[in-house]
Homo-oligomer: A and B are copies of this chain.
Amino acid sequence: MIIVIQCADRIGLVAAISGLLSQKAFNIISMQEHVDKSEQLFFMRIEVDRTDGTPELEQGLREILPEGAIIKINPDAEKKIIVLVTKEYHCLADILVRNYFKTLGASVQCVIGNHNTLQDICRRFDIPFIYIPFAGDNHGFEESLLDCISGYEYEYLVLAKFMRILSAGFVGRFDKKIINIHHSFLPAFAGASPYRQAHERGVKLIGATAHYVTDQLDEGPIIAQQIIPASHSHTVQDMVKAGKEIETAVLAKALKLVFDDRVFVYKNRTVVLE
């Protein structure tokens, strides 16, 4: 099972934690740590070979770690997610396929769309699709979203090319729980029509960024980024098409990292322990 720890740094933490695991006869399969020296923060992910004795282990860790430590002991439980979409299929289809073949590392509870374009593909995979059209009233739209979401268990909301901007009020209810794929190499080309912006600027690479959503539009902590070459011969439409491939790949990679408990968030940044 996986143990993740995030706390203030101090000397001897690795010795104390590995000593405790050794004393309680947990065998370490893998261990990664990181210290942010400027913030004096300690991050650790440990994979151990047993899943019993969890409460005693947590209690033991609590005693040796600094006050305020975040400790998550995850006995391999699968995450549950809700996916939000608009019209573009590429990220959703990739998620549905992995979900169907049990390689997503999470279980899709439902898909919510502000258009109904993607209803049929969900039906084919027996995943509930809820169509919540935007009727011009953002507050009402978000209320309907909240209503719908509240009917499901979930750990994360995944915005798989969901093309509406969510209000700060909405986002504030889901701290570090919303993951978005942005179709540019952020922070370049934040905001609308990034491929049009990229084309006008004549860039030679285009990219995609998966990030946590905060109340600062396109400014949340970055989880993963990737790029592909572009050239003068790419029209905006060519860039959009090429971009879809990289968006799919980057979101898939980011979700895998998150569902694997490898991503820590602090101060608008992430630590990714691979």
Listed in ascending order, the chain A residues whose CB lies under 8 Å from chain B are 11-12, 14-15, 18-19, 21-22, 27-28, 30-31, 33-36, 89, 93-94, 97, 100-101, 121, 124-125, 185-189, 201-205, 207, 221-227, 231-233, 245, 249, 252, 268-272
Contact = CB atoms under 8 A, between A and B. Distances in A.
A36 B18 CA distance: 19
Ordered nearest first, which 3 A-B pairs have the shortest CB separation?
A202-B269, A15-B18, A188-B188
Contacts of A224: 204
Interface majority SS (helix, strand, loop, mixed), chain A: mixed
Given A34-B233, A97-B89, A188-B186, A14 B11 contact: no
Contact of A121 (B28, B100, B271): B100
Contact of A222 (B22, B204, B249): B204
A201 B225 contact: no
A27 B14 CA distance: 11
A19 to B, nearest CB: 4
Given A124-B124, A224-B204, A22 B15 contact: yes
- Max chain B Cβ within 10 angstroms of own Cβ: one of A34, A124, A232: A232
A249 B188 CA distance: 22
Contacts of A11: 22, 27-28
